[in-house]
Amino acid sequence: MASDAVSSVAYAVEEILLALVPLLGLLAVQYVGLISIPIILLLIMLIFSYSQIINHYPQGGGTYVVSKENFGKRTSLLAASCLIVDYILTVAVSISSSAAAIVSTFPSLTPYKVAISLTCIALITLINLRGTRESSKIFGIPTYLFIFTMIILIVTGFIKIATGTLNPIDYNTAQGLIPQETLTGITLLLFLRAFSSGCSALTGVEAVSDSVPNFREPSTKTARHVLYMLGIIIIFVFGGTCFLASALKVVPLPDVTVMSQMGSAVFGSGLMFYLLQFTTALILLLAANTAYSGLPILLSILSRDKYMPQQFAHRGTKLSFSNGIMFIFISGVVLLIVFGANTHALIPFYAVGVLVSFTISQFGMFLKWIKMKEKGWKYKCLINGVGASVTFVSSIVVFAVKFMSGAWALAIVIPVIMLFMLYTHRHYVKFDNAVSIDGYDYQYKKSKSRYTLPCIVLIHNISRASLKTFDYAKDISSNITALHISTTPEHTEKLQRQWEEYGITVPLTIIPTPYREILRPLDRYISEREAQLKKGQNLTVVLTKFIGRRWHDKIFHNQTTFFIESTLSKHKNVATVLVPYLYDIKK
């Protein structure tokens, strides 16, 4: 959870300077500390706010869940859309920044920056597809190493400043910097522009509240401790880096990062400089893991609420939300190619979405305290009310300042995502009505087939589609077992009640899978049944395949069926039969 939030200091300070230097030249470094103060205060407010969200929403989902409970559907979709955009941009910005750190250390690799970025994002994706536990082990050590290296850089820099052994970096006029004596002081607009660029340091804080279910029990307590430690580390590293940048009078240069220049000034060209560059590149690479941890969970929650295609709700064989992970990978690759892995070109799209989600979540908690009036509610109201006001103003400032630099595109992208989610929800509601058994006269009849070869019918729920599949199975065999993979106890209890109401005498086998995994428990059960077959026998598995009248209906159905069919095809003595069901949601 720390990699995104901590690594953002590697480019947040540089973005502040990039906003100031073109107009202020070397004078810009005098204002870095001034601009960092409101950013740090805002970060403290967010930490307190999200600790309350973790307490009251242990199921995860963060801003989306808060807004859904306190504002309703439309506002929650706005929050979810902003988070989706922010998570995807986190991947693109982190990966491109990592590539920038690499080419800053080895300039000869500059022409291969995009290729390096694509290789990095592919590597991160593969690691995450291995599962949460494995990715945490791989990403833990580099994160700690970067934090300790940054602490050494800041402490060493402070000591050298105090002893007078650290001199400001000397830039020559050939590097294109405006002489300081020709400039005036900072203006309000310039301050706001630098503040909006520096707000990229705030990203990643929300990921802890989004991913509470991923933490070890007691998950809420563990998540709060992580959030507090994360806040302390960010404040120290970001604040210390800003102070050090001011003392060194460092300014951005083409193909040479600010972090690289500070490392060279403090450590020289020795081992520690290369360690700093290596850990910076690595932490920026791994910062993308925050999105890989948070976004798939958010997509799974949206999927269960029918606002995203249902395949996002299912875990893969390694208990990871593999469909969500692949969605991040594809989106990140597109952004990296389109923007040429240029961090500065991506930054205008960054931080706007996360500030909007910050505002919604804090104002939602503000309303929650007013309704609940639990112990200490006035104090909590004050924190969330002030935080909501500050982030609201900040989001307007960031969007207005960055509007002409590309942030205008967010005014198109975020509504489009919201419309897609509304369309998805409407589709599933109409689909449920189309296959509902309400008003459907169904009489269960026992199988009259003379064939006794074993047959398994996969049952998710009682619907018109599943009853058609069930009737087909009775026509081909009298030796039928209904199999249900139970991902939620409530849904399974409803199925069992309906099973009894219809008087179905076919045995219903239920396999509980608390991690919402389907393929592995199914494969294990089929293997057991296959081992029981007599010589020359085959096991038939019957599935439902939904057929829509429009080509894009395929987005919403049959992905699980496809993967089940693919898994079963590996069994020698298992035959898979797909029973089509044509649904019409236009009625």
Tens digit of pLDDT per residue, the chain (587 long)?
Answer: 667 777 777 678 888 888 888 777 777 788 888 888 888 888 888 888 888 888 877 776 567 888 888 888 888 898 889 889 888 988 888 888 888 878 877 888 888 889 999 998 998 888 887 765 555 666 678 888 888 999 999 999 999 988 988 888 877 654 555 455 444 556 777 787 788 777 777 777 777 776 777 777 888 888 888 889 888 988 898 889 888 988 888 888 777 778 888 888 999 888 898 888 888 878 877 777 778 877 888 888 888 888 998 888 766 554 457 788 889 999 999 999 998 888 777 877 777 777 888 888 888 888 888 888 877 788 888 888 888 888 888 888 878 877 877 788 888 999 999 999 999 999 888 888 888 887 677 777 777 778 888 999 998 888 888 888 888 888 888 899 999 998 788 888 988 988 888 778 888 999 988 666 788 888 999 999 999 998 888 999 999 988 887 777 777 876 778 888 888 888 999 999 999 888 877 65
Distance CA 523, CA 545 (A): 19
**Phi-psi region at 281: left, alpha or beta (left = phi > 0; alpha = psi -120 to 50):** alpha
- 455-582 shares the fold of 2-425: no
E strand or H helix at 480, and its extent?
A: strand 480-486
- Answering whether pTM is above 0.85, one says no
The backbone torsions φ and ψ at residue 539, rounded to the nearest 5 degrees and listed phi first, read -105, 125
Q: Which amino acid is at 499?
A: W
Architecture of domain 2-425: Up-down Bundle (1.20)
- Tell me whether residue 477 is exposed, middle or buried, using C-beta atoms within 10 angstroms of its C-beta: 0 to 12, 13 to 18, 19 or more: buried
The domains of the chain are located at 2-425, 455-582
Residue 483, beta-bridge partner list: 458, 509
The closest alpha carbon to 204, from 168, 238, 254, 155, belongs to 238
Peptide bond into 218 cis (omega under 30): yes
Distance CA 124, CA 325 (A): 10
The domain 455-582 having CATH identifier 3.30.450: the answer here is no
- Tell me whether residue 388 is exposed, middle or buried, using C-beta atoms within 10 angstroms of its C-beta: 0 to 12, 13 to 18, 19 or more: buried
Which DSSP category does 157 fall into?
Answer: H
The CB-side HSE value for 372 (13 A sphere, CA atoms) comes to 16
Parallel, antiparallel, or unpaired for β 455-458 and 480-486? parallel
